[in-house]
Structure 1
Amino acid sequence: MVYVPCSLLAAGDDSLTVDLRPTLDGRLALLVYSALDRLVSCCGDKQPWAVMPTVNLEKIRTETNFELLLLDVEIPVEFRRRDGEQ
């Protein structure tokens, strides 16, 4: 199981939108976290998230074409979500 940062869902929306992050070299990365406390510590307490089995990551890769999977990466404070932000 991993914890995956996601976008806020609109009322009535049941689809999941994972947060993808561009890297400095232009690749697209999916950040995942090994525990909820690590996600909160690395992304902030305003970050929406979902928990999923690691086997689902391949489906996300085929749907989003992310190029890197990064584990337990800290997001700099200036790039974290704040109240109500997407």
Structure 2
Amino acid sequence: MNDSETAAEASGARRDFPPFVYVPTTSEDDPATRRVLMHTVEDGRTALYTYSAIDRLHRYYLPKSSWVVCDVPALQRVHDETPYDLLFLDIDPGLSDDEGSA
């Protein structure tokens, strides 16, 4: 890590959002009928968890999750159809101990 990376992390600067993300979905056999999964966080807001790589989705979300790839316009369409308050990238929502609540 160089000095500019250290300074950016220390200042709390955000990293760029990737051009596309992997988003957990329901697991219907027909991918066209799957729905994006959203979660209610402790303060009552709705969160959409997204992942910059499929291995991160399987590591942080749930290992056998179904998924869809979304770019930014697709995430906006999801928001337009089913509004969410928070968009998380590469975050563990703590589902591995409670797999049935996804």
- Normalising by the smaller structure, the TM-score range is 0.7 to 0.9
Aligned-CA RMSD value: 2.0
1:1-86 equivalences in 2 (<5 Å)? 1-9=20-28, 11=29, 14-76=32-94, 77-80=96-99
Give the structure with the larger helix fraction: 2
Query: What is the percentage of aligned positions where both structures have the same residue?
Result: 32
Q: How many positions carry a matched residue from both structures?
A: 82
Q: Deviations 1:6-29 (Å, cap 9, x if unpaired)?
A: 0111x5572230000101000001
Normalised to the residue count of structure 1, the TM-score between the two structures is 0.82
Distance (Å, rounded) in 2 between the aligned partners of 1:19 and 1:79: 15
- Name the larger-Rg structure: 2
Q: Is there any run of 5+ residues in structure 2 with no aligned partner, and where?
A: 1-19
Q: Is there any run of 5+ residues in structure 1 with no aligned partner, and where?
A: none
Q: Deviations 1:4-60 (Å, cap 9, x if unpaired)?
A: 000111x55722300001010000011100111110110122211111212211100
**Cα distance change, pair 73–13 in 1 and its aligned pair in 2 (3 A):** closer
| 3-state DSSP of counterpart to 2:33 | coil
RCO greater where, 1 or 2, for CA within 8 Å and sep 6 or more? 1
Distance (Å, rounded) in 1 between the aligned partners of 2:64 and 2:31: 19
Moved over 4 A (4+): none
Normalised to the residue count of structure 2, the TM-score between the two structures is 0.70
Answer whether contact 1:43 1:80 (CA < 8 A) is retained.
no
CA drift of 1:66 comes to 0.9
